[in-house]
Amino acid sequence: MLENPLLSVKDLSISFNTNEGKFNAVDGVSFDVNKGEIFALVGESGCGKSTTAFGLMRLIPKPGEISQGKIIFDGKNLVKLPEDEMPQIRGKEIGMIFQNPLDSLNPVYSVGKQIYEGLILDNIGKQDAWKRVVDIFNDVQISDPKERIESYPHELSGGMRQRVMIAMMLSRRPKLLIADEPTTALDVTIQAQILELIKELRDTFNTAVLIITHDFGVVAEIADKVGVMYAGKIVEVGDVYQIFENPLHPYTKLLMKALPRITKQEGRLETISGTVPNLVSPPKGCRFHPRCPMATDICAVEAPVFKEAEKNHRYCCHLEVKKRGTHH
């Protein structure tokens, strides 16, 4: 019998009520992540990737809220969990690393101390905890760990801080690691090392990973499964080889062709013409139709529904595709 997925997101919507109006930044999103699996969520800036991640941690800032759906994690629906049970989930069961580790490292404590405090929370004795901190720094390939644990976050390079973040996550052995653009700010060599480290974490502890990126290079490097997001919705999901060998949604195809070019707004894509729509009044029918080279009349009128192209490979578009391996 197949095991249940570790994380099963079902029809999740997250809305923001702003001066301009109410909109769903995440709109009916569903996906599963199995134990030991690396799931990449991909899409342009503003399509709702980070909001999805923060939603899983129940960290949506006001005026935002989870307005619909379920987040089944390890058998529990996190949407319904009492707030006082969330701290046990955050950090301990679900770890999160951010694009900018300075956002989540405390500037006034040494990095070793911050990891140590987490271990103490897990009832590990003081002596053992310090030993563990040094071991973990070794695991994430931080040189001179005995000295490094004394450093403050601002004394470390970007790559080193990201290692510290990963060390912090590793120390508490979460079942799920959420990594939101963990390598975007880093140069390519360090980026490759950090991705390697995340893979090792998965291989050693069978940790499930949800990695968020706009870079298909990162996806190719690390992912087992891929979900492509556009304007708050997942438009295609599949195993990594299905997405690369046989992308079906026109948006996926364009995104894959668009190499990430660094523009004035750092790290943003500028290669697909047009922009992500205003979500307060999104385009009728398929939200991608104003930008889609394949659009037909129906696309502006009727929202497409998901179709299954192959086992595990689904896409949300009016276009019909031939099954692979069949001849016309």
Ligand X SMILES: Nc1ncnc2c1ncn2[C@@H]1O[C@H](COP(=O)(O)OP(=O)(O)OP(=O)(O)O)[C@@H](O)[C@H]1O
194 binds ligand X (CB under 6 A): no
**Residue closer to ligand SF4, measured from CB, 141 or 246:** 246
Which of 45, 68, 100, 110 touches ligand X by CB under 6 A? 45
DSSP class per residue in 257-320: HS-----SSTT----SSS-PPPTTSPPSSSTTGGG-TT--GGGGTS---EEEEETTEEEE-S--
Site string for ligand X, 243-282 (x = CB under 6 A): ------------------------------------x---
The least distance separating ligand SF4 from the CB of residue 260, rounded to whole angstroms, comes to: 22
Interface positions with ligand SF4 (CB under 6 A): 249-250, 286, 288-289, 292, 294-295, 299, 304, 317-319
The one of Mg ion, ligand X, ligand SF4, none whose footprint includes residue 51, by CB under 5 to 8 A per kind, is ligand X
The token duo for 118 is 């987490």
Q: Which listed range, 44-52, 66-74, 119-127, 156-164, lies at the site for ligand X (CB under 6 A)? A: 44-52
Q: Is 48 in the site for ligand X (CB under 6 A)?
A: yes
Helices (H), the chain: 49-56, 86-89, 111-121, 126-139, 145-148, 158-171, 188-205, 216-222, 240-245, 250-257
61 binds, among ligand X, ligand SF4, Mg ion, none (CB under 5 to 8 A by kind): ligand X
In the sheet where 76-77 sits, what is the strand order?
21-33, 7-18, 64-73, 76-77
CB of 195 to ligand X, least distance (A): 18
Task: Out of 161, 175, 214, 318, name the contact with ligand X by CB under 6 A.
Answer: 214
Backbone angles phi, psi at 210, to 5 degrees: -110, 110
Asked if 286 touches ligand X (CB under 6 A), the answer is no
**Is residue 49 near ligand X by the rule CB under 6 A?**
yes
Nearer to Mg ion, 50 or 114 (CB): 50
**Contact flags string 4-33 toward ligand X, x per CB under 6 A:** ------------x-x------x--------
Query: Minimal distance in Å, beta carbon 180 to Mg ion?
Result: 6
Separation between Cα atoms, residue 169 and residue 136, nearest integer Å: 10
Q: Say if residues 209 and 37 touch (Cβ distance below 8 Å).
A: yes
Question: Cα separations (Å) of 8 from 12, 161, 238, 244?
Answer: 10, 30, 15, 24
Binding residues for Mg ion (CB under 5 A): 50
Separation between Cα atoms, residue 96 and residue 87, nearest integer Å: 13
- Which of the listed partners (ligand X, Mg ion, ligand SF4, none) does 294 bind, with a CB threshold of 5 to 8 Å by partner kind? ligand SF4
Residue 309, C-beta contacts closer than 8 angstroms, at least 6 positions apart: 238, 242, 246, 248, 315, 321, 323, 324
169 neighbors 97 (Cβ within 8 angstroms): yes
Binding site for ligand X (CB under 6 A): 16, 18, 25, 43, 45-51, 61, 64, 214, 279
